[in-house]
Amino acid sequence: MATYTGPKVRLSRRVGVPIADIPKHTSKRMLNAPGMHGHRGRRLRDYGIRLQEKQKLRYHYNILEKQFRRTIDEAKRRPGNSGDILMQLLELRLDNVVRRMGVVRTIWASRQMVNHGHILVNGKKIDIPSYRVQVGDVISLKPRIQKLARENMESMGGHEVPGWISFNPSELNATISSLPTADQIPFDVNTNLIIEFYR
């Protein structure tokens, strides 16, 4: 399946917010528009504002448009606030859960870890990054990748595991204890604008 393989910082600069929580993306210089004076051009209209919010979310979770649209459609079908349900569905993707555990630095590294078959869900190897975990699932790492995971955890000293994941750092496994809520998601985006974009 196709996936974006170009420069990742370019995505952060395009939408004006860091899509990954690493110094390369969060530095002030990188969030300025390209050029000597960082001129952004004309002000965005309503369509452009909604498009940019959608792109922020897509880049943050490393999802292609077709898959993102399917997730939007599923969120609209479910009862409740479509924006909150959309964020829940995206947070429960396996590659995102591995990132939130703090054993890798970025969504791209967690996707690679899943693709290479290093992640177990309830003791069974899952190599599909978009696999949706459920409450009660136990996510663990294969022994051969645990050394790398511990090194990554040491380099990410201030990482906080969200409250909906019960993480055991000594055994490098995590249990999904509850569904994520809007205040537990560490990425600020206006989901109402995204739902409006697809109307």
d(CA 25, CA 110) in angstroms, rounded, equals 17
d(CA 158, CA 162) in angstroms, rounded, equals 13
Output the pLDDT for position 185. 86
Nearest Cα neighbor of 114 from 101, 102, 130 is 130
Enter the pTM of the model. Answer: 0.88
Nearest Cα neighbor of 182 from 165, 162, 166, 161 is 162
Output the pLDDT for position 110. 93
d(CA 142, CA 154) in angstroms, rounded, equals 19
**3-state DSSP assignment of residue 172:** coil
32-54 b/e (C-beta count within 10 Å ≥ 16 → b): eeeeeeeeeeeeeeeeeebbbbb
Give me the sign of the Cα torsion angle 92, 148, 10, 26: positive
Nearest Cα neighbor of 133 from 171, 85, 79, 96 is 96
Q: What is the residue-level pLDDT of the chain in tens, covering all 199 positions?
A: 467 788 888 888 888 788 887 777 777 666 666 666 666 666 888 898 899 999 999 999 999 999 999 999 999 999 999 999 999 999 999 999 999 998 998 999 999 999 999 999 999 999 999 999 999 999 999 999 999 999 988 888 778 889 999 999 899 999 999 999 988 888 888 889 998 898 8
Please give the domain boundaries of the chain with CATH numbers for all domains. Answer: 9-89+185-197 (1.10.1050.10), 93-178 (3.10.290.10)
Residue recorded with tokens 């829940």? 88
Output the pLDDT for position 40. 62
E strand spans, the chain: 119-121, 124-125, 138-141, 165-168, 173-176
First to last CA, the chain: 27
